[in-house]
């Protein structure tokens, strides 16, 4: 397949230092661009969290916010987070922030009953806001498989992670119930240079909101089409990455999530009809049907699973060139010059998108790697295969289309981040697919 995109080269960089102190200075601008907050009534998740926190405290017989009989100073940090929830499209009053402030203030007096009450309310608030911050989903991402929808961390997972962290304050700063890119973008919001930059950060916060949290166990693959890069992530840690080639501007790679369920070794390459007419049929016209034998192409009767081979001599190839046979199906046999390379990785979806090897490695050296027809070409398909299967994915057989099931399917998320953390800063990238609705960055800001 081919792509349009330019490189994921950063247009401008900004530090992603923790944001706490700078937040309220920027609040006026942020409220303008935030999505409508939830109702000021108490969030249903807040009431639901009450039982979960009670069960956790009973099971583990511990307090998260108490140390040495005193309320920990991180209680004030959580209150600050609650007060800033408009950044996330949530209303602080839906989490009884005033009641929480009163309870925490009383607990700092040292009365054991007040301390116990504040400890419970703090955990209840944390569980509720973490669930609600994950609940809003971008309408840009299409989930081809419900199994790929990342779950919100359970109360038990969330509270255990907080309780066992080496620093509760740093844990809260990281917001591990969200994807790491989300928290980095959120931290950068108060330092946005202007409203346009703030809007760009907001858009990409929504795109990262649907990605797995740092607490999600197991493995997943993330492809960032804006950066033209793939990441292999396990237990919240990037284990490997590689360059990819993604869709052109006229055939962009969609934002799509699914489950990688099998690989295909020795794949055929089905030539898209437009390429068959513009690139392949002219060779047949000028060189005869022998071209098809030399280049190892077959002509099939249709696009169905049970299509039959067609004698190429029965085809009017000039008509194909002239666009009078728009549905011609041509496929290339497996081999070293096959455009699919040696393997492809399938996550069933109705858009026909998958990840695949390629016989042409030259495009990976280019900064602009938007050259495919929508599918995702891999810089090293063998490396991805080994990571997914735990061993080299090879075959000695020459049989075409060998399907190899993945014993434990792995989620894959194809996203599009035009603002994203990179080397401790925020990289602003060109909007090659014009999805941001903001146009390209002005020259004076693009050069910053």
Does one domain contain both 226 and 300?
no
Measure the CA–CA gap between 98 and 114, rounded to whole angstroms. 16
392, 28 in Cβ contact below 8 A? no
Does one domain contain both 101 and 76?
yes
Q: What tokens does 100 get?
A: 């929480």
Reported pTM: 0.85
Burial 17-55 (b: 16+ CB within 10 A, else e): eebbeebeebeebbeebbeebbeeeebebbeebeebbee
203, 35 in Cβ contact below 8 A? no
Mean pLDDT of all residues in 196-222: 96
Examine the fold and report which residue of 307, 332, 357 is the final residue of a domain before the chain moves on.
332
Q: Is the pLDDT of residue 214 over 80?
A: yes
Measure the CA–CA gap between 175 and 173, rounded to whole angstroms. 6
Q: Is the pLDDT of residue 27 over 90?
A: no
Mean pLDDT of all residues in 212-241: 96
Examine the fold and report which residue of 332, 351, 376 is the final residue of a domain before the chain moves on.
332
CA 257 to chain centre: 8
For residue 370, the tally of other CB atoms under 10 A from its CB is: 27
> pLDDT grade, residue 33 (50/70/90)?
very low
Q: Is the pLDDT of residue 291 over 90?
A: yes
Domain span including residue 390: 219-267+342-419
pLDDT in tens, 66-105: 999 999 999 999 999 999 999 999 999 999 999 999 999 9
pLDDT at 12: 34
Does one domain contain both 37 and 91?
yes
pLDDT at 32: 28
pLDDT in tens, 155-166: 999 999 999 999
> pLDDT grade, residue 136 (50/70/90)?
low
pLDDT in tens, 271-285: 888 889 999 999 999
Does one domain contain both 44 and 115?
yes
3-state secondary structure of 262: strand
Measure the CA–CA gap between 147 and 343, rounded to whole angstroms. 24
Q: In which residue are the tokens 């399907």 written?
A: 403
Sign of the C-alpha dihedral computed for residues 164, 165, 169 and 174 taken in this order: negative
Phi first, then psi, for residue 320 (nearest 5°) are: -65, -45
Which of 31-40, 55-64, 115-124, 269-278 shows the lowest per-residue confidence on average (mean pLDDT)? 31-40
> pLDDT grade, residue 26 (50/70/90)?
very low
Phi first, then psi, for residue 402 (nearest 5°) are: -85, 115
Residue 130: closest CA among 100, 88, 75: 88
Does one domain contain both 367 and 388?
yes
DSSP code at position 276: I
Does one domain contain both 99 and 239?
no
pLDDT at 177: 97
DSSP code at position 437: S
Q: Which of 27-31, 308-312, 439-443 has maximum average pLDDT? A: 308-312
Is residue 437 in a domain? no
Examine the fold and report which residue of 195, 216, 237 is the final residue of a domain before the chain moves on.
216
- Tally of structural domains, the chain: 3
Query: If you write DSSP's letter for every residue of 343-371 in order, what string do you get?
Result: EEEE---TT---EE--S--GGGGSS--EE
Is residue 337 in a domain? no
Measure the CA–CA gap between 204 and 16, rounded to whole angstroms. 15
Does one domain contain both 406 and 296?
no
Is residue 10 in a domain? no
Q: Is the pLDDT of residue 441 over 70?
A: no
Sign of the C-alpha dihedral computed for residues 323, 329, 334 and 339 taken in this order: positive
For residue 372, the tally of other CB atoms under 10 A from its CB is: 25
Does one domain contain both 259 and 317?
no
Mean pLDDT of all residues in 319-340: 90
For residue 360, the tally of other CB atoms under 10 A from its CB is: 12
Does one domain contain both 141 and 188?
yes
Measure the CA–CA gap between 64 and 432, rounded to whole angstroms. 46
429, 226 in Cβ contact below 8 A? yes
Is residue 7 in a domain? no
Is residue 116 in a domain? yes
Measure the CA–CA gap between 60 and 327, rounded to whole angstroms. 64
Which of 210-214, 238-242, 335-339 shows the lowest per-residue confidence on average (mean pLDDT)? 335-339
pLDDT at 438: 82
> pLDDT grade, residue 37 (50/70/90)?
very low
Is residue 9 in a domain? no
Which of 10-19, 117-126, 306-315, 419-428 shows the lowest per-residue confidence on average (mean pLDDT)? 10-19
Which of 16-20, 113-117, 203-207, 423-427 shows the lowest per-residue confidence on average (mean pLDDT)? 16-20
Does one domain contain both 263 and 379?
yes
Measure the CA–CA gap between 213 and 150, rounded to whole angstroms. 8
**CA dihedral defined by 78, 56, 237, 12, rounded to 10 degrees?**
-20
Measure the CA–CA gap between 158 and 83, rounded to whole angstroms. 20
Mean pLDDT of all residues in 51-77: 94
Mean pLDDT of all residues in 202-231: 96
Q: What is the CATH number of the domain that holds 407?
A: 2.40.440.10
Give the pairing type, strands 256-265 and 142-143. parallel
217, 317 in Cβ contact below 8 A? no
Is residue 126 in a domain? yes
Mean pLDDT of all residues in 367-393: 95
Q: What tokens does 431 get?
A: 């909007």
pLDDT at 272: 85
pLDDT at 31: 28
Which residues are designated catalytic? 356, 375
Mean pLDDT of all residues in 9-17: 35
Element (H, E) at 129: helix 112-135
pLDDT at 24: 32
Q: Is the pLDDT of residue 391 over 90?
A: yes
Angle between helices 180-188 and 195-209 (to 10 degrees): 160
Mean pLDDT of all residues in 134-156: 90
Does one domain contain both 54 and 189?
yes
Residue 382: closest CA among 441, 419, 341: 341
Does one domain contain both 251 and 356?
yes
The strand pairing partners of 398, in sequence order, are: none
pLDDT at 440: 60
Is residue 182 in a domain? yes
pLDDT at 326: 87
226, 434 in Cβ contact below 8 A? no
């Amino acid at each position: 397949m081919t792509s349009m995109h330019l490189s994921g080269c950063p247009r401008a960089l900004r530090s992603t230092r923790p944001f706490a102190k700078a937040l309220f200075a920027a609040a006026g601008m942020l409220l303008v661009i935030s999505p409508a907050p939830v109702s000021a009534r108490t969030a249903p998740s807040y009431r639901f969290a009450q039982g979960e926190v009670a069960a956790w405290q009973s099971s583990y017989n511990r307090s998260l916010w108490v140390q040495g009989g005193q309320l920990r100073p991180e209680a004030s940090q959580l209150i600050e987070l609650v007060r800033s929830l408009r950044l996330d499209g949530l209303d602080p009053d839906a989490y009884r922030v005033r009641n929480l402030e009163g309870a925490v203030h009383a607990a700092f007096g040292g009365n054991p009953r007040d301390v116990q009450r504040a400890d419970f309310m703090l955990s209840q608030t944390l569980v509720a806001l973490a669930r609600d911050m994950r609940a809003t989903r971008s309408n840009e991402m299409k989930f081809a498989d419900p199994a790929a929808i990342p779950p919100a961390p359970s109360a038990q997972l969330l509270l255990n992670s907080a309780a066992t962290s080496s620093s509760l304050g740093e844990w809260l700063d990281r917001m591990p119930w969200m994807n790491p890119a989300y928290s980095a973008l959120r931290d950068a919001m108060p330092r946005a240079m202007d409203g346009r930059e703030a809007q760009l950060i907001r858009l990409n916060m929504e795109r990262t909101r649907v990605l797995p949290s740092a607490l999600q166990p197991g493995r997943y693959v993330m492809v960032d089409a804006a950066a033209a890069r793939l990441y292999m992530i396990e237990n919240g840690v990037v284990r490997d990455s590689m360059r990819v080639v993604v869709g052109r501007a006229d055939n962009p790679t969609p934002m799509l999530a699914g489950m990688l369920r099998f690989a295909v070794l020795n794949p055929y390459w089905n030539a898209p009809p437009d390429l068959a007419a513009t690139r392949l049929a002219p060779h047949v016209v000028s060189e005869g049907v022998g071209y098809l034998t030399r280049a190892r192409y077959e002509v099939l009767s249709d696009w169905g699973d049970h299509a039959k081979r067609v004698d190429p001599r029965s085809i009017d190839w000039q008509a194909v060139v002239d666009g009078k046979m728009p549905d011609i199906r041509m496929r290339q046999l497996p081999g070293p010059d096959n455009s699919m390379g040696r393997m492809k990785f399938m996550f069933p979806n109705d858009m026909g998108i998958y990840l695949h090897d390629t016989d042409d490695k030259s495009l990976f050296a280019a900064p602009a790697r938007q050259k495919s027809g929508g599918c995702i070409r891999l810089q090293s398909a063998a490396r991805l295969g080994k990571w997914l299967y735990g061993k080299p994915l090879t075959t000695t057989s020459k049989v075409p289309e060998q399907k190899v099931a993945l014993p434990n399917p792995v989620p894959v998320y194809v996203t599009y981040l035009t603002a994203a953390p990179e080397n401790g800063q925020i990289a602003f990238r060109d909007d090659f697919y014009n999805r941001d609705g903001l146009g390209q960055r002005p020259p004076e800001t693009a050069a910053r």
